């Protein structure tokens, strides 16, 4: 009874103190594509990824009802850094869904116009200058800002203390009249947050360092991906084994030795301990290395390296440059390529489950293998060449003695002048499951098998390779088939032996693949990149740094007459691939299980006009 009454009281007091409108909530993921278009149209950096901001504690005074309900100020404000644009994961501030949605577009314009020229000013003056500059640049937003400002001011509470009341009055004046001169310096955290402005003190962009966790082995393949409307803050802590097991205490407190059992249980046996709910409720996660097994895994936006493999090094000492967007320069010989081959590879035949699809693919591509072309002005052929006939008659009537005897045309076939290199991402993220029976690496392997059959049927010159990396000194490049090498059981054995590796230093792999394509003398050269996620690595090669280097490598390939094209199974690929490859040079396959069947069809469409 007490518990039931407590739940009813908690539900009632929480609703009474709630200042949001849940039924009018607009989520970032619903309109993220539109916001990206607006942000780029307003002049925002197209390399910035749009992400939900983290929730931060605010020191503003709470009302009595909020104190009774136990509600605290947790603000999600808009801000940007060199890598990302952070926006509220959801907005339910106003009792109007249209106005909540409009706030996103206003923040996108405000962030696109944000520069460092006002960083030296106090908070109020800096925010006023940001608003004024945005309205002067786009006067059509003036009406929208006035609506947002009026709606926000109607929701703000007056403070009881005289000093805070004066600060609130000054803040209201600055919001309502951005051109008004304000000289008072206000601590933004002492008052209610201003969601229609940018973050007054943006969080410092901590450098992410990801460390391998080889000792955590899953007991099952169950993986749950956690979604939410905010970015989770985390800190790294050291796991100390000394805190496990028996604690030191006086034995006099024990009634008898029989009642004591020294049990070391760092893990619980239950399969569902509410870990997903706990992860959603926590504002900051502590991550540490720890040995043992887990019953269930929660999937976050992480990419952890795998264990070492027994690979054979074929060649070392190969270097490639890398683009440093911060310094705006190309670092020569910055990355080191290692040509690798797994020891487990043996001669293999086409897997049994792919034999029927492979026959169908071969039959389809053999029909497209040779293009038909008319050879004109032939001495004999299947049809009369009317152009040659008219030209001969004209010359004869004009008195020319030499008359052409090539009055026929013949249908001939010739090989396509094309070289293609298929480069597959073999990072650890490919170890993720796509179904109960298959992982990403399995569908990539099947896709490589069918693509090799398709390209071999056309007679095109093609090569295949995979790559992974472990910082810039170990970019592992796995040649699966070289140009000019026949599709043999040995090549199929290399494809069968591919396994998940480490990270995804995409720029270095693309540059090395470009070198191989440069040596081809075909009229058309195609670089197909098969990937499942963004470029990343352990040594700062993540976020915008990896994106910019990959984009530079793609532009270098295009400048050398090579056509880059990306095929990805990353459902978020539309967020960053247009910036990397352009709007028409990539395709996102939503269902990873369909990758093997769709790869040959994509290749056919790309090469049908060649």
C-alpha dihedral, 190 to 285 to 503 to 495, nearest 10°: -140
Phi-psi region of 157 (alpha: psi -120 to 50; beta: other; left: phi over 0): beta
| Residue 103 banded pLDDT, cuts 50, 70, 90 | very high
User: Which comes out higher in pLDDT, residue 514 or 397?
Assistant: 514
Q: Is 284 helix (H, G, I), strand (E, B) or coil?
A: strand
230-239: b (≥16 Cβ within 10 Å) or e:
bbbebeeeee
Q: State yes or no: pLDDT of 515 exceeds 90.
A: yes
Helical (H) or strand (E) element with 557: helix 543-559
Q: For 24-28, 48-52, 286-290, which range has the lowest pLDDT when averaged over its residues?
A: 286-290
**C-alpha to C-alpha distance for 93 and 156, rounded to whole angstroms:** 11
* Mean pLDDT calculated for residue range 157-171: 73
Q: What one-character DSSP code corresponds to residue 327?
A: T
What is the residue whose two structure tokens read 């769709």?
598
- Considering the four listed CATH numbers 3.40.50.410, 3.30.470.20, 3.40.50.300, 3.40.50.40, the one that applies to the domain covering 344-365+417-468+478-607 is 3.40.50.410
Instruction: With CA atoms as reference, report the closest residue to 500 among 281, 334, 250, 309.
Output: 309
pLDDT tens-digit readout, 72-88: 556 788 988 888 889 98
How confident is residue 257, by pLDDT bands cut at 50, 70 and 90?
very low
DSSP string computed for 55-111: PEE--PPPPHHHHHHT---EE--BEE-SSEEEE-SEE--SS-HHHHHHHHHHHHHHH
Integer Cα distance of 37 and 41 in angstroms: 6
Q: What is the DSSP letter of 124?
A: H
- pLDDT-derived band at 162 (thresholds 50, 70, 90) equals low
Q: Is there a contact between 372 and 413 (Cβ–Cβ < 8 Å)? A: yes
- As a whole number of angstroms, the distance between CA 111 and CA 50 comes to 11
CB 580 within 8 A of CB 507: no
| pLDDT surpasses 50 at 278 | yes
% residues pLDDT > 90 (the chain): 34
CA dist 245 and 173 (Å) reads 60
What pLDDT is attached to residue 551? Answer: 95
CATH 3.40.50.410 in the chain is located at 344-365+417-468+478-607
Selection from 75-84, 140-149, 204-213, 405-414 with the highest mean pLDDT: 140-149
- The mean pLDDT value for 295-306 works out to 49
Name which of 87-96, 222-231, 361-370 the model is least confident about.
Answer: 222-231
The answer to whether residue 479 scores a pLDDT higher than 90 is yes
Instruction: Work out the pLDDT band at 367, boundaries 50, 70, 90.
Output: confident
Work out the average pLDDT over 245-260. 48
Burial class (CB in 10 A: 0-12, 13-18, 19+), 580: buried
Q: Which residue has the higher pLDDT, 274 or 480?
A: 480
In this prediction, residue 319 carries a pLDDT of 95
Please tell me the predicted confidence (pLDDT) of residue 107. Answer: 92
Nearest to 295 by CA among 224, 226, 220, 214: 220
118 CB-near residues (< 8 Å, 6+ apart): 125, 126, 129, 130
What per-residue confidence (pLDDT) applies to 517? Answer: 95
Computed over every residue of the chain, the mean pLDDT equals 79
Q: Tell me the sheet residues that pair with 297.
A: 223
The tens digit of pLDDT for each residue in 165-213 reads 788 888 888 898 988 887 777 777 778 888 899 988 887 544 444 444 4
Condensed to tens digits (0 to 9), the pLDDT of residues 427-454 reads 988 888 888 888 999 999 999 999 999 9
Q: What is the pLDDT, as a whole number, of residue 219?
A: 36
- Top mean pLDDT of 183-187, 222-226, 261-265, 281-285 is at 183-187
CA–CA distance, 528 with 418 (Å, rounded to integer): 13
**Residue 346, pLDDT above cutoff 80:** yes
Q: How far apart are CA 470 and CA 465, in angstroms?
A: 17
Cβ neighbour number for residue 26 with a 10 Å cutoff: 20
What confidence score (pLDDT) does residue 6 get?
66
């Amino acid at each position: 009874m007490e518990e039931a009454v407590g739940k009813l009281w908690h539900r009632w007091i929480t609703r009474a103190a709630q200042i949001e409108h849940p039924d009018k909530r607009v989520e970032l993921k619903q309109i993220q594509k539109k916001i990206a278009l607006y942000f780029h149209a307003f002049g925002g950096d197209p390399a910035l990824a749009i992400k939900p901001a983290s929730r931060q504690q605010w020191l503003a005074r709470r009302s009595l009802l909020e104190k009774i309900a136990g509600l605290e100020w947790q603000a999600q404000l808009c801000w940007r850094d060199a890598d990302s644009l952070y926006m509220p994961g959801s907005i339910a501030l106003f009792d109007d869904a249209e106005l909540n949605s409009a706030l996103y577009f206003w923040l996108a314009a405000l962030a696109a116009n944000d520069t460092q020229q006002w960083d030296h000013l106090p908070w109020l003056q800096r925010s006023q200058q940001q608003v004024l500059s945005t309205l002067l640049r786009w006067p059509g937003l003036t009406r929208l800002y006035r609506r947002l400002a009026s709606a926000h001011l109607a929701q703000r509470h007056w403070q009881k203390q005289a000093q805070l009341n004066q600060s609130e009055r000054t803040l209201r004046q600055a919001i309502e009249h951005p051109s008004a001169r304000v000289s008072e310096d206000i601590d933004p955290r002492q008052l209610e947050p201003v969601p229609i402005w940018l973050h007054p003190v943006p969080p410092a962009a901590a450098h992410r360092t990801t460390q391998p966790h080889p000792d955590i082995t899953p007991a099952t393949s169950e993986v749950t991906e956690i979604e939410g409307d905010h970015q989770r803050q985390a800190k790294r802590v050291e796991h100390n084994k000394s805190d496990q097991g028996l604690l030191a205490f006086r034995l006099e407190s024990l009634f008898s030795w029989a009642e004591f059992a020294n049990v070391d249980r760092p893990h619980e046996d239950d399969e569902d301990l509410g870990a997903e709910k706990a992860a959603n409720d926590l504002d900051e996660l502590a991550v540490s290395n720890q040995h043992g097994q887990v019953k269930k895994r929660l999937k976050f936006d992480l990419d952890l390296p795998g264990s070492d493999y027994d690979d054979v090094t074929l060649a070392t000492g190969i270097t490639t440059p890398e683009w440093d967007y911060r310094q705006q320069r190309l670092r020569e010989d910055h990355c080191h390529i290692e040509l690798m081959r797994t020891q487990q590879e043996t001669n293999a035949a086409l897997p049994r489950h792919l034999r029927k699809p492979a026959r169908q693919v071969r039959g389809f591509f053999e029909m497209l293998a040779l293009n038909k072309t008319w050879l004109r002005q032939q001495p004999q052929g299947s049809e009369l060449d009317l152009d040659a006939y008219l030209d001969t008659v004209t010359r004869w009537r004009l008195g020319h003695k030499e008359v052409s005897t090539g009055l026929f045309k013949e249908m001939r076939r010739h090989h396509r002048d094309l070289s293609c290199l298929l480069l597959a991402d073999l990072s650890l993220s490919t170890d993720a499951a796509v179904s109960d029976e298959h992982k990403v690496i399995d569908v990539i392997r099947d896709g490589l098998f069918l693509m090799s059959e398709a390209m071999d049927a056309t007679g095109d010159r093609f090569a295949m390779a995979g790559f992974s990396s472990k910082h810039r000194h170990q970019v592992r490049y796995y040649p699966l088939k070289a140009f000019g090498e026949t599709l043999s059981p040995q090549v199929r054995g290399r494809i069968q032996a591919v396994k998940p590796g480490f990270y995804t230093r995409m720029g270095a792999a693309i540059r090395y693949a470009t070198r191989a394509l440069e040596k081809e003398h075909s009229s058309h050269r195609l670089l197909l990149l098969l990937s499942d996620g963004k470029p990343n690595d352990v040594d700062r090669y993540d976020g915008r740094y990896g994106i910019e280097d990959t984009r530079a490598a793609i532009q270098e390939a295009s400048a050398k007459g090579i056509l880059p094209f990306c095929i990805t199974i990353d459902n978020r690929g539309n967020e960053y691939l247009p910036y990397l490859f352009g709007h028409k040079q990539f395709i996102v396959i939503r269902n990873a299980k369909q990758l093997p069947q769709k790869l040959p069809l994509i290749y056919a469409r790309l090469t049908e006009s060649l």
